[in-house]
A and B are shown apart, each in its own frame.
Chain A
């Protein structure tokens, strides 16, 4: 079935796709707001607002909505990232209206009770402290801060600790009321329903929510980087890590597709399910160069589609007895090779076949399909996802070399080492 797209009078974008293979349906509401809009002082606010939407409305007091969903056998959650905040539930198809009513209700009705805000402050601080236990989180935070000195993509979605300690209930509530409006949202339903009926239901629940003018936001442009940046982080543990990030184009840039192919050749296929996946990468160039040679224990790459220019990142776990410097030197040899000579026809064919397989896997669940439709609508347009395989199929060998040369330059890199204090 194809995707049906429309927009309600209040500006709510609606995407519907019928899938009748299992008696289930997934409903998502996406807000075009995330940590990529935050400024110093309120970093982490998008994520905290997401938490507060689970703390009750007059109609669904705290603890009642999650239990109602569970009672029907559903799973639900929320997520916040650079470009979006999203809420979803997947339910038996005949119960999906429950999620529509919950989402319509909390688009405007979340209470943000002061004592709940305070209780959630410590939960979020705990979430951040848990993340800080992981050296890779700490290194990633430092490297991104060095890579972006202007754009808010440079701070973690969790936010800075000082902002988590300092933000007020008023900060949170006004942010919520500013961005949680139908004209800033995308509703997605995928599953076992009839589109006309689903559209009618969505209209019933969301149609009467008035639109509002969005705050005039200025999206800062990251100035070009001229020269390599380096970060060395010392910390506990026995294990060293290496991360390199390169400024990269946004999802809608034509260069994005050859970069997807390049990433696939360097570090293997990326999973297209919500929770990662993608299998092994033991035949990729960087695995052969770093892990097969016993310099690293693992290596991975990440290219994320975003609204504004983001980064392409490479991360390696340094093998016991080796140093980040040794891994980095060998890594540059491979990157320079990718810049100097085109990849082979076989490598290109493999990257495309891998993408085709990952695409098929991601379409197995209605949750996965709804996730991709919504996310791609947020950073581009749902057609981005629909045309993904065709676009990859059109990539040429020379384009891959050209984007390697353009983005993998040393002067575009921020290099981070995590150096453990125990041997």
Chain B
């Protein structure tokens, strides 16, 4: 099979604003449905943090046509799975089934997105599950370091500064009425995207989306633009003590480039060299391999519609935190001061280009790639142009990207681990 492109991706816009993308793959008798709506934690206030996520989880707790038990009985009985979850900008949905069960899955998906009734008893059940998860989070060093990093790296009130899952205090206070009114104000077909990949003809797939979503009406509210997220001007840090733990987790980073930033791929290549390539790039080589300090040490660039985090992450013994930080800072300094070597760059370019067939092997992988093209307006020929875009990146462009977003002397740093006695 060739790399997906305009020849074999079918794209249709329905009159109500829904975009349908289909790519056929008849190699295995299964099908993946994946997409998103224009609603997320962006649309909630600080004091209602967790609302969008609560609503997304509550959709499948009962509809006008099906109870919670019926929904899952129908889906699970055919070995299918489906889920809806809220992020910051979007609420994503996904489903997977045997191709023969696609009509059922589409029907259930449309039912939960269009007809949720938020049964009071189910809302309370769900609230208890969310609160249990948030209590677990409070004692999870990885999750707490990531959470506190966001609070440090983004200004207060910025949608990126708070947790999409919310907080114990906010989730406890959200009422059923809040869920209903958030749903009524924010959910609608406008801007919705559905990708279907698998053993179904494009015509049939489009017809199925039309059948269950074609008569959905309604506009979604326009959003205020994102507040600015300036780079930290100094080191801002916070330590979260969690008693009884044996390892400390570190997140050090910055607000990074948006996926739509013209220099995003430069930054992505830079990140791959810093903390991905081989066994986790330069950070893996230094922190894990040479110093034996950590089981994991890597970096991650989120991209996304806005300035999502660009971070270095490590899990280390509490006594090694300072040593690990020194190494991370040294690698950030090096990559933002010296151009990367031509060989190192060529290796990374070869990796990014060469791994494309593996990333596109499964239906999920293809769906992810197609949604990315749609979401960031990259064009349906993006994957076919990808090799050229990556190969033309130079050491100078990588250096410029590092300088634009990274700084070894001014960053946000969150550490969660056992109390040290010094804090």
Contacts and interface: CB of A to CB of B under 8 A. Distances in A.
Interface residues of B, number: 71
B79 A357 contact: yes
A356 B29 CA distance: 11
B355 interface: yes
A298 B292 CA distance: 36
A292 B125 CA distance: 7
A236 B135 contact: no
Contact of A236 (B72, B245, B296): B245
B295 interface: yes
Interface string A191-230: 0000000000000000000000000000000000000000
Interface of A: 21-24, 54, 62-63, 66-67, 69-75, 90-92, 95, 118-127, 129-130, 132-135, 235-239, 268-269, 277-284, 288, 291-292, 294, 297-298, 317-321, 350, 353-358, 360-361, 363-367, 421
Interface of B: 1, 25, 27-30, 68-69, 72-73, 75-83, 96-98, 125, 128-129, 131-133, 135-136, 138-142, 242-247, 277-279, 285, 288-296, 315-317, 347, 350-358, 360-363
A22 B285 contact: no
Contacts of B351: 70-73
A239 B132 contact: yes
Contacts of B292: 118-123
B357 A24 contact: yes
A354 B78 CA distance: 6
20 contacts: A22-B1, A22-B27, A54-B279, A66-B279, A119-B291, A123-B292, A123-B295, A129-B246, A129-B247, A236-B244, A236-B245, A269-B76, A280-B72, A280-B76, A281-B76, A283-B69, A298-B129, A317-B132, A361-B96, A364-B361
Contact of B139 (A237, A321, A366): A237
A357 B247 contact: no
A399 B352 CA distance: 51
- Lowest 5 CB-CB distances: which A-B pairs, in order? A73-B354, A279-B81, A357-B79, A236-B244, A119-B292
B78 A357 contact: yes
B353 A73 contact: yes
Contacts of A66: 278-279
Contact of A288 (B29, B69, B358): B69
Contacts of B80: 279, 357
Contacts of A284: 76
A23 B277 CA distance: 22
A125 B289 CA distance: 14
Contacts of A70: 277-278, 347, 350-351
Given A71-B350, A354-B79, A130 B30 contact: no
Given A22-B361, A119-B291, A119-B292, 16 more contacts: A63-B289, A70-B277, A73-B356, A95-B354, A236-B245, A269-B76, A279-B75, A279-B80, A279-B96, A282-B68, A283-B72, A288-B69, A297-B133, A319-B129, A354-B76, A364-B28
Contacts of B129: 291, 297-298, 319
Contacts of A281: 76
A24 B3 CA distance: 13
Contacts of B247: 126, 129-130, 132-133
Given A73-B354, A119-B292, A121-B292, A126 B132 contact: no
Contacts of A75: 355, 358
Contacts of B28: 21, 360-361, 363-364
